[in-house]
Each structure stands twice: as C-alpha cells, then as structure tokens.
C-alpha cells in the first residue's frame, strides 16, 4: 500500500493524504431499495462457512515463510526472486481450494531486489544491516568514505557541510515534511556519494529499533538506505568520538524495464462468463508485511474458499487476483506504485473493464482500529448500493462483532492502492477501510496504526485482529453476492454530478469567461441521462425479483441487465476519462480543481503581499501545486524542481495511472523561494508580479478545463 504524507497540526507538508471524505448516499426514487431476501440465504450460508483458521494460517505462512523472502528481514519486491517463488506458491494454493484456470500472468516492471547490506565504522564495533531503497546499491567493495551527519537533510543543513564524495547521514520525516526523493536529490546536489537515513518522526513510531521504508518516487541517482533510530544513536556517539570513516556495502539491484512480475489469477466459474467480479490484493511486501499485504491475500483466498465450500454458484465469474509490484514497480516517477495491476487491466486484460461489475480490493485488513462501527470504502458511485444493503439489513449477519453494526455511509477511495489503476480503466471498486481514511489512532491517541507499524518490522502477527479480518471477509463477500445476484448494477452516477456541482466556483468561472448557465445546462444533460439510467436499472431489478419469486423465466431479464450494465460501465469509464483528476499524487478531484485551488491560493498570497504580510503569504503559498511548493521551503531549487518534474502534467514522465490526471503547475517557485528570504515590510513588488502572471496563466488553464468538462457533459446526451 502506498501512502502519502499526512497533514499535522504542527507542521506543513509536501503531500496531503488523500481526502477520504465520508459519503452519505441519498437513495433517490430511481434507486430505491430492492427486496433482496431471495439471496439472503446464500449470504447467510457464505458467512457461516468462513474458516478463520485458514485465513490466519494462510496469511501467516505468506508473511513468515523464509522461502518466500528475498533476505533475512523478509521483503518480496517488484520482479524479485522471492516474488517469482511466491507466484508459484499462490498458483498452487489457488488450485488446492478449487479455483479454475489458474495462471501466472507475466507483466513487465522495473525490477528491484534488495539482498543484503552492511555499514561499519572504523575504530568501533558498529556493524549494521541498513535497508536499501529502490535504487542500485554499491559494488562488492562498497563505498569507503567519511560519513557526515547532515541533520534533517534540508538545504540549510548542508550550508556548513562538505559531503562531496562522502556518505550523507540525515534524519527524515516522511509523514510531516518530505518524501524520500527530496532528501535524495538534496544530498545529490551537494555531491554526496551515498545517503543513509533514519526516521526522526512521522512513521516508524512503534520502536526505535524498527526500520521504516517508503517507495522513492525518484530517479536512481545514488545508493540510499535507512537505519533505525537506535542505530543512528550508536553512529552519533562514534562520530562525536572522532570515528567518522565508514564502509557502506549495499547489495541492491534496480533494473529499469527489465523485470517480470506475475499477477496470479484464478476463477470460480459463473453460470455465464459475460460478466465478472474481482477479489484482489497484492503479495509484494516490505519486511514480512503481515498486514501490508499478506492479510489481503489471506482474505481473498478465504473469500473464494468460502464461496466454494458453501456451495455458492455465482451468476457471473468470480476472479481472484493476487497482484505483484504494487508497493513499487517504476523508477523516476511520482506514480511508481500499482504497476502489476496497471499492466494487467490496461495491457493484458483491457476487456475486463467493460465486463467487471465490481472489484473488491484489500489493504491492511486485519488490524483493529478500535472502532465500534464497520465502515466501507468505495468509489462514490457505489455509495447508494451500500446504503441500500445496510438499510435492508442484508449485511447485519456479517458484522455481529461490531457493537454499532455497519454504517450506511462510505469513505471515498483515493489513489493509495491498486484500485486506482482499475478505476482509471473503468472498473468501479470497493476497499476495506483502514486508518488511511478513518484517521483512527493508537490507544494513546497520538499515532495512527500506519505511523506505528506501516512498512516496518512491527507489521507482524502481533497486530492481527480476527474480528476485523472476519468482518472484511463476511461483509465484502456478502456485497459481492448481492451484486452477482441482481442483473442490473446499482452504480449511481449522481455522485459525479454532485461532485461537479459542488466543486464549481461561480465567481472564478465567470472571471475566466465560463458562464454558470452553460455549466448548469451541461449538468442538466448529464442529470437527465443519469436519471434515465437509474430508472432503467430499478425497473430491471424489480421485474427480476418478481420473476424469481414467481419462479418465472428470468433469462430474458438477465440479458437486459447485461446490456444495461455495459451502458453503465461505459459511462463510468467516460467519467474517469473526462472529469476525474488528481492533485499531485493523492487527492481524487474533478479535473478543474487543481487550477481552481492554485488560483484561490494565489489570491490569498497576493492579498497578503499587498498588505506587506510576507509571513502570512508564506503560510498559504506552500499549498500551491498540490503542496509541491513546500519543497522549495526545504530544499535547494534544483532538488525541489526534480520533485516537481515527477508530478507536473507538462512533463513526459507523468506515467502509468497518473496519465492525463494531473494539471500544469504554476511557475511561482522562484517568487516563493525569494519570499523565504524576505521580512515583513520589504518591497515584494517583483514577487507580486510573478504571482499575478502565474495566476493569469492558471486562469486560462482553468477556463480550458471547465470548457472541456462542459463539452463532455453535453456529449453524454448524444
């Protein structure tokens, strides 16, 4: 699971965690609840058949079996030997539980395999095993050089340091300050030969003896590794005593475009093969990854086994997919995760997009966040279905261990896992809810589970909750049965209309030359199509339920449903292509919102500067370009610009699932950097001019974006 920086009260940051807003779906007259008791028996039989011993044992083996690891710490990474061995293992286990047509599907990725490492300090007994990032390591002899403590690794920390040809040692905070790429580029700018990091704060809070690693989102410019806080303290004592000569050896291999990962796929054949439902998780991991993401594979294997053991025969194919290369699979890009899934749905099986009724993806789904209400995450368009099922009590039996049952509200999906690749291809999906969305913290209320355990050695069996894993298996399997049994999808595009309407800034649009009337007329075209689709789906399902109750022939109605579902999925894909964008790499928004945000922030900055309030302006300016501007607060211009290059829509390496989802950045970095050297009352007329010019350019982009969205809405009716 990929996770960006989380906002904190005490620090500004580079990225914002995706805004997992809660959606309370209102059931319109066209999407009223169905009488779904005809499949309740199948759901109850499924829930009663769940074997939690199998779920736990499978997860534990996948996590801890050393034959499925790359090194002594664990690891199973993109295209690595351990990933290949595990693909074989998963294929064997899929066949054992009765899945059909099991296959390992090869996909091309950037390979990364971390085998071993050592860091020694002359004159001491320090001999450590650092953890490599997704970059190439050293040769067998390693790097013998002075190691220099560079504080927090920002530009100012290097002002009195000579690190040319040396090993830079820096403390990082990838939760509140910057992703690892910024630290790498800054060390590189100053001529360092290698970078060794340790966590100051943010992540890895469970223990000072834990390593914590993230995907690099950067180019392969130097060997880079991380040590624990305890190990840093040892090195700090050695440096204070004058022992600063180190030898760093890293056996890490990164091969761009030369790796093969495997997506392992098996099927529960349906009565018809025209449509399908997908259960998915990823099996690559850092350390032993019990939660991230071995638990997900344990979950989907148990869901499949439970369906088979309960005797459930699906109407549509159930596809079980264990994805490789989710944590990382591409170098030199901000969009370096979910590579295995992206290749599968876009290049191997693109036809899946037009036939998949839903994907159920899982991440970190067996730890207890302390909540007493079970929550569901889904694309907004599936919020109505969740509300229907909860209101009807269909899912009550699946959440008996939750004091307050299940919520009818849902969290929106973001970009933090494989679902984003499927969504972009046109597949609507569900995700189990983790602290990524819920914001739940540990017992002391200070840190989230992810801050404590995510991507560390402490993501292990000690974090297991049978209650949570069982609920995920029960709830999402039940929803899958509900979707499988009714012929017409309850995928309500009203959510997109609402998002378009709520995100429209009437005054700013008018300034750009886009009228509210044109926008609302286009929305009405979209609304008319959605109302008609919802009514059609409701009618199909109501007639189907009556036919089932009377034991009438249902085949003709099922065929109507298939034709209807094709139209709905086609519209869902159209929405992804024409309206859905991202801010930097985290927030899922309407495409015009990136420009709208920039303009609104620049208006505040300009107003503050005109009032000679430079500090107030800087309290806003960091949010420009999806918070990328904050890199210029921390790092030298060249280092910060390299980070921009991985996210700005205008550059060539806007790769994979980020294609055509971003926005062109403002060219304000020099003005922002200049303000950091100013004091209140200084003449900032030149900086104001830069922001004003950038605003004018963003306004043009904004106009173009709105006009394209209007045209796209108008075409829906045709």
DSSP annotation of 346 reads I
Predicted pLDDT of residue 2: 55
Q: Which residue's entry shows tokens 């850092």?
A: 286
Angle made by CA atoms 157, 207, 204, in degrees to the nearest 5: 55
Return all residues near 600 (Cβ < 8 A) that are at least 6 apart.
505, 508
Mean local confidence (pLDDT), 332-339? 92
C-alpha span between 352 and 627 (Å, rounded): 35
Question: Which of 338, 341, 322 has its CA nearest to residue 330?
Answer: 338
Give the model confidence (pLDDT) of 279-289 as tens digits: 999 999 999 99
On the question of a cis peptide bond just before residue 293, with omega within 30 degrees of 0, the verdict is yes
Predicted pLDDT of residue 29: 34
Predicted pLDDT of residue 445: 60
Listed in sequence order, the DSSP H helices in 97-203 are: 180-189
Question: Is 548:681 a contact under the CB 8 Å cutoff?
Answer: no
Instruction: Provide the angle, in degrees to the nearest 10, between the axes of the packed helices 494-502 and 383-392.
Output: 120
Detail the DSSP E strand segments found in 389-536: 406-412, 429-432
Q: Which residue's entry shows tokens 């998780």?
A: 281
**Structure-block tokens of residue 309:** 């053991």
C-alpha span between 115 and 131 (Å, rounded): 9
Query: If DSSP states are collapsed to H, E and C, what string results for 78-93?
Result: CCCHHHHHHHHHHHHH
Give the model confidence (pLDDT) of 224-259 as tens digits: 999 999 999 999 999 999 999 999 999 999 999 999
Phi-psi category of residue 98: left, alpha or beta, with phi > 0 → left and psi -120 to 50 → alpha? left
Segment among 29-43, 130-144, 424-438, 674-688 with least mean pLDDT:
29-43
Banded model confidence at residue 654, pLDDT cuts 50, 70, 90: low
Q: What is the overall mean pLDDT for the chain?
A: 92
Q: How far is CA 601 from the centre of its chain?
A: 26
Buried residues in 293-318 as b, exposed as e (16+ CB within 10 A): bbbbbbbbbbbbbbbbbbebebbbbb
Q: Which residue's entry shows tokens 């509900």?
A: 482
Angle made by CA atoms 125, 174, 451, in degrees to the nearest 5: 85
Neighbours of 532 (CB within 10 A): 13
Q: How far is CA 169 from CA 232, 405, 541, 696, in A?
A: 9, 49, 63, 42
Q: How far is CA 148 from the centre of its chain?
A: 35
pTM of the model: 0.94
Banded model confidence at residue 270, pLDDT cuts 50, 70, 90: very high
Return all residues near 698 (Cβ < 8 A) that are at least 6 apart.
595, 598, 599, 602, 666
Buried residues in 633-669 as b, exposed as e (16+ CB within 10 A): bbbbeebbbbbbbbbbbeeebbbbbbeebbbbbbebb
Detail the DSSP E strand segments found in 156-289: 167-172, 194-199, 224-226, 245-268, 272-282
Predicted pLDDT of residue 587: 83
Predicted pLDDT of residue 680: 83
Neighbours of 57 (CB within 10 A): 12
C-alpha span between 198 and 118 (Å, rounded): 15
C-alpha span between 505 and 497 (Å, rounded): 15
Predicted pLDDT of residue 35: 57
Q: Which residue's entry shows tokens 């909860």?
A: 390
C-alpha span between 199 and 152 (Å, rounded): 10
State residue 524 phi and psi, 5-degree precision.
-65, -35
Question: Is 472:226 a contact under the CB 8 Å cutoff?
Answer: no
Residue 586: pLDDT above 90?
no
State residue 51 phi and psi, 5-degree precision.
-105, 100
Return all residues near 587 (Cβ < 8 A) that are at least 6 apart.
16, 18, 19, 414, 415, 626
Question: Is 153:244 a contact under the CB 8 Å cutoff?
Answer: no
State residue 673 phi and psi, 5-degree precision.
-60, -35
Predicted pLDDT of residue 392: 94
Q: Would you call 585 helix, strand, or coil by DSSP?
A: coil
Banded model confidence at residue 30, pLDDT cuts 50, 70, 90: very low
Give the model confidence (pLDDT) of 544-572 as tens digits: 999 999 999 999 999 999 999 999 999 99
Mean local confidence (pLDDT), 47-75? 98
C-alpha span between 690 and 562 (Å, rounded): 55
Phi-psi category of residue 370: left, alpha or beta, with phi > 0 → left and psi -120 to 50 → alpha? left
């Amino acid at each position: 699971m990929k996770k960006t920086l989380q906002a904190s009260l005490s620090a500004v940051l580079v990225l914002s965690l995706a805004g997992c807003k809660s959606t309370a779906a209102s059931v319109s007259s066209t999407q009223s609840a169905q009488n779904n008791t005809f499949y309740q028996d199948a759901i109850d039989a499924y829930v009663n058949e769940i074997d939690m011993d199998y779920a736990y044992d499978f997860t534990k083996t996948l996590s801890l079996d050393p034959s499925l690891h790359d090194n002594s710490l664990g690891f199973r990474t993109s295209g690595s030997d351990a990933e290949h061995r595990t693909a074989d293992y998963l294929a064997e286990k899929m066949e054992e539980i009765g899945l059909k047509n099991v296959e390992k599907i090869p996909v091309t990725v950037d390979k990364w395999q971390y085998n071993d490492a050592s860091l020694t300090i002359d004159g001491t007994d320090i001999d450590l095993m650092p953890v490599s990032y997704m970059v190439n390591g050293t040769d067998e002899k390693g790097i013998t050089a002075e190691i220099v403590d560079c504080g927090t690794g920002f530009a100012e920390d290097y002002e009195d340091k000579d690190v040319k040809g040396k090993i830079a040692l820096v403390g990082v905070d990838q939760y509140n300050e910057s992703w690892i790429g910024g630290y790498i580029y800054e060390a590189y700018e100053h001529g360092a030969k290698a970078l060794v990091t340790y966590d100051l704060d943010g992540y890895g809070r469970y223990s000072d003896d834990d390593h914590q690693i993230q995907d690099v989102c950067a180019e392969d410019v130097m060997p880079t590794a991380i040590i624990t806080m305890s190990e840093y303290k040892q090195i700090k004592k050695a440096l204070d005593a004058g022992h600063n000569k180190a030898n760093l050896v890293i056996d890490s291999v990164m091969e761009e475009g030369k790796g093969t990962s495997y997506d392992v796929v098996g099927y529960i054949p349906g009565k018809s093969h025209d449509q399908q439902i997908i259960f998915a998780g990823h099996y690559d991991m850092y350390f032993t990854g019990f939660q991230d993401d071995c638990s997900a594979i344990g979950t989907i294997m148990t869901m499949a086994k439970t369906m088979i053991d309960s005797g459930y025969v699906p109407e549509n194919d159930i596809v079980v997919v264990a994805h490789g290369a989710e944590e990382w699979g591409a170098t030199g890009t901000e969009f370096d995760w979910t590579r295995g899934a992206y290749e599968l749905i876009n290049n191997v099986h693109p036809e899946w997009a037009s036939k998949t009724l839903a994907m159920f993806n899982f991440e970190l789904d067996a730890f207890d966040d302390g909540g007493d209400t079970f929550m569901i995450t889904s694309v907004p368009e599936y919020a109505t279905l969740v509300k229907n099922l909860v209101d009807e009590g269909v899912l009550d039996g699946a959440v008996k261990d939750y004091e307050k049952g299940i919520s009818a509200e849902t969290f929106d999906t973001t970009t933090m896992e494989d679902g984003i690749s499927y969504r972009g291809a046109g597949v609507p999906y569900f995700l189990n809810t983790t602290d990524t969305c819920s914001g739940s913290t540990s017992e002391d209320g200070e840190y989230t589970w992810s801050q404590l355990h995510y991507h560390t050695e402490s993501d292990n069996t000690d974090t297991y909750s049978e209650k949570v894993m069982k609920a995920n298996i029960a709830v999402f399997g039940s929803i899958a049965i509900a979707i499988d049994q009714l012929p017409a999808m309850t995928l309500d595009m009203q959510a997109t209309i609402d998002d378009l309407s709520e995100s429209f800034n009437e005054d700013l649009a008018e300034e750009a030359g886009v009228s509210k009337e044109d926008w609302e007329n286009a929305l009405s075209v979209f609304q008319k199509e959605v109302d008609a689709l919802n009514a059609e789906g409701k009618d199909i399902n109501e007639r189907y339920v009556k036919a089932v109750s009377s034991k009438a022939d249902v085949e003709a109605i099922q065929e109507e449903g298939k034709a209807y579902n094709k139209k709905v999925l086609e519209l869902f894909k159209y929405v992804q292509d024409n309206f859905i964008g991202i801010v930097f790499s985290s927030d899922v928004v309407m495409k015009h919102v990136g420009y709208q945000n920039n303009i609104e922030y620049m208006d505040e900055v300009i107003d503050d500067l005109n009032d000679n309030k430079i500090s107030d302006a800087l309290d806003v300016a960091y949010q420009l370009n999806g918070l990328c501007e904050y890199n210029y607060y921390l790092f030298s211009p060249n280092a910060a610009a390299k980070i921009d290059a991985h996210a700005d829509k205008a550059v060539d390496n806007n790769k994979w699932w980020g294609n055509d989802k971003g926005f062109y950045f403002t060219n304000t970095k020099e003005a922002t950097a200049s303000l950091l050297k100013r004091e209140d009352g200084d003449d900032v007329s030149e900086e104001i001019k830069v922001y004003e010019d950038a605003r004018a350019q963003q306004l043009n982009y904004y106009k173009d974006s709105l006009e394209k969205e209007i045209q796209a809405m108008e075409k829906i009716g045709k």
